[in-house]
Amino acid sequence: MANHNPHIGSTLDDLLEEEGLLSEANALALKRVLAWQITQEMAAKKMTKKAMASAMNTSRSALSRLLDPENTSVTLHTMERAATVMGKRLHLELIDGKKKTAAP
């Protein structure tokens, strides 16, 4: 008797989407990348958290939330200020969602 598993061949994205978790997983992944990039830029510029917060005209606790890879509730304004202080530009865009292809 053949073992028929309907999830064989599915992607992780498919599974997360079925469970209603894809959007949350994508947001967390994006935030982790952003926090990592800012941390790397701060290290390259030898900038302390205190100096970064001051340059952003924000508190150290707000900067800590931005640098926390698990905290996805950061405003676009805060992200843009951090990018500007680092001499960078924040780039966001909407792209088409994953398109389902018909099975052969």
Is 93 within a domain?
no
Q: What is the pTM of this model?
A: 0.71
Question: What is the b/e burial string over 54-75, where b = at least 16 CB atoms within 10 angstroms of the residue's CB?
Answer: eebebeeebbebbbeeeebebe
| pLDDT tens-digit map of 26-73 | 888 899 999 999 999 999 999 999 999 999 999 999 999 999 999 988
What domain range is 25 assigned to? 19-85
Q: What residues have CB less than 8 Å from 21, skipping those under 6 apart?
A: none
Packing angle of the helix pair 76-85, 60-67 (nearest 10 deg): 100
pLDDT of residue 100: 55
pLDDT of residue 81: 95
Is 101 within a domain?
no
Domain count, the chain: 1
CATH of the domain at 36: 1.10.260
pLDDT band of residue 95 (cuts 50, 70, 90) is: confident
pLDDT of residue 4: 56
Is 9 within a domain?
no
Alpha carbons within 13 angstroms on the beta-carbon side of residue 28 total 6
Is 53 within a domain?
yes
pLDDT of residue 87: 95
pLDDT for 18 beyond 90: no
